[in-house]
Structure 1
């Protein structure tokens, strides 16, 4: 999935626990009739993806929705959701250097039937 909007907040990288788990939060404000302020978490090696971005920039963020179940000591079950970011790019950004150039769809030529037959060759 993708979310598109303007960067509102870029948080600092935070480290948790003895294993050094890292998390960094990004808030993106969508540009629609009723704008939404979405907090997106980048974890571990993805935290450094946010270094190249600034507040106010329009971006497109690749996300995964995460959900988990938690049971309290009293036996009550609760559910939590989070949005995990795994890619971010500036809106209107050029293709990365070295990326192959793909011609627009309308520049492709249709495949011609070499036998000029009107029927297909499917066996069923």
Structure 2
């Protein structure tokens, strides 16, 4: 899936250690254009944080996967970016998904 918009917030990076080793993620808020603009918070894992170098004010097209999980009877949904390209610019070719990116959900806080 893809969405295009402008980065309105860069949230602080989070990190920790799971059974598979250290991990880090960073979340960003993308505002989608329209008469009633919507905002979507998406995340980037690991070395992709540095690779993408996302900054406030950038207009980007974000390719992402959706994933939901249940924790204590509540459901949480993540929007995980796997490719990011500037609007009107050339993105990376092909499907660059990093399949071993996130730690098990048990090692993350539920919120």
Aligned pairs for 1:1-124 (under 5 A) are 1-17=1-17, 19-51=21-53, 53-70=54-71, 72=72, 77-94=73-90
CA–CA separation in structure 2 for the residues paired with 1:95 and 1:17: 31
More strand by share: 2
**Which portions of structure 1, spanning 4 or more consecutive aligned residues, are displaced by more than 4 angstroms?**
none
**Higher Cα Rg, which structure:** 1
Following superposition, the deviation at residue 48 of structure 1 comes to 1.8
Runs of 5+ in structure 2 lacking a partner? 94-111
CA–CA separation in structure 2 for the residues paired with 1:95 and 1:81: 26
Q: Which residue of 1 aligns with 2:101?
A: none
Residues 2 and 95 (structure 1), Cα distance of their counterparts in 2 relative to 1, 3 Å cut: closer
Following superposition, the deviation at residue 64 of structure 1 comes to 0.4
Residues 4, 59 of structure 1: 8 Å contact kept: yes
Residues 49, 88 of structure 1: 8 Å contact kept: no
CA–CA separation in structure 2 for the residues paired with 1:49 and 1:7: 16
Residues 49, 87 of structure 1: 8 Å contact kept: no
Following superposition, the deviation at residue 8 of structure 1 comes to 0.7
Following superposition, the deviation at residue 95 of structure 1 comes to 6.1
Secondary structure of the structure 1 residue equivalent to 2:9: strand
Residues 10, 50 of structure 1: 8 Å contact kept: no
